[in-house]
Structure formats: C-alpha cells, structure tokens
Amino acid sequence: MHDLAQYIRTVPDFPQKGIQFKDITTLLKDPEAFRLSLDAMQERFQEPVDVIVGIESRGFIFGGALAERYRAGFVPARKPGKLPAEVESEAYELEYGTDQLEIHKDAIQPGQAVLIVDDLLATGGTAAATARLVERLGGKIVGLLFLIELAFLKGRENLKNYRVESIIQYSEE
C-alpha cells in the first residue's frame, strides 16, 4: 500500500449503512500529503494535456490543482442543474436508481487532449459517463486518473477502452 494511504480516513456506514467511506479531507489538510498526492498523480501521465475534466465534487480539488501543473484548462463535470450555459448530459446507473452528469457544450474543442480526474474510482459508472460526455464533444481521452481505486469493485471493467491510473488501491472493503 502506498505511504499516502495513511492519510486517508475510512468512515464506516457513511453516507449509508454498509459503505466504507474514504475520507480524503485528512489528506488534503496536510500540505505535504496533498503535494505528494499531486506529484504521484502527475507522474502517471507525462504526455501533453489540453484540458482536465474534474468530476463533482472532489474531482474539482485534484483536477483544479493538476490543471495548473499541466498548464491545462479546467472543465467541471457537474450534477444536473448547476451549469448555467448550454449542456450535454449523460445518465448513469447507481446502486439504487440513476444519476446524471452535465458538461458545458463549448467546454472542449474537437481533438483536444483530455485527462479525466476524480478522487476515487468505485464502480466506474461516474467516470464512464464523464468519458461519454467528453467524447460527445470530440475530446480525445488521454486517460482517467484517480487518487484512490476500490479495486474489488472492478470499476476498470467499465473503462476498458481507456488508460486508467490510480495511486492508492484497496483490494478489499
């Protein structure tokens, strides 16, 4: 397990019974741990990136900081009804029901190199919906980058066509 794992707090039964919530606030508040997380994430993709798409809401924290490091633009993928201008939307499956993500139609130009960033990969449904939005706008996906991967949920299987990188993997709950 990566040294950074010690900064992540697991909170049982949040936000509902049975979920082992990976709390990254304990990592973010430590300047050295936050910086080392960004270093480790940035190392995984050395190629040029035009746009980082961060997934609401913790993907904004890592995606925003990484965008500055890559000298890339930052584009938020948001929950429905939050973005003010014209959007593309995409629905995805949750354990119970469905949810939706939106991105501004003019956020990505065809052919731009896009890196998708979130704090955590679980089932991969959220990330796969984000990838569909990026491709609908003509973006070329360089890969998907996560700080944490709950590997036992096999989210990668939902992202088979892409390069997926994560820094801290949990092999069991």
95 is catalytic: yes
Burial category of 166 from C-beta neighbours within 10 Å (exposed 0-12, middle 13-18, buried 19 and up):
buried
Per-residue binder mask for ligand AMP (CB under 6 A), 101-140, x = binder: -----------------xxxxxxxxxx-------------
Q: Which helix (H) or strand (E) holds 60?
A: helix 58-70
Binding residues for ligand AMP restricted to 15-44, rule: CB under 6 A:
19-22
CB of 110 to ligand AMP, least distance (A): 26
Cα-Cα end-to-end distance for the chain: 14
Nearest residue (CB) to ligand AMP, 18 versus 110? 18
CA dihedral 161, 154, 56, 53 (to 10 degrees): -20
Q: Within 10 Å of residue 84's Cβ, how many Cβ atoms?
A: 7
The nearest distance, CB 55 to ligand AMP, in angstroms, is: 6
Residue with Cβ nearer ligand AMP (109 or 154):
154
Both tokens assigned to 142: 């360089």
Site for ligand AMP in 61-100 (CB under 6 A): none
151 binds ligand AMP (CB under 6 A): no
Closest by alpha carbon to 129, among 74, 167, 79? 79
Q: Which of 58, 78, 90, 149 is catalytic?
A: 58
Residues with active-site annotation? 58, 95
Contact residues for ligand AMP (CB under 6 A)?
19-22, 55, 58, 118-127, 155
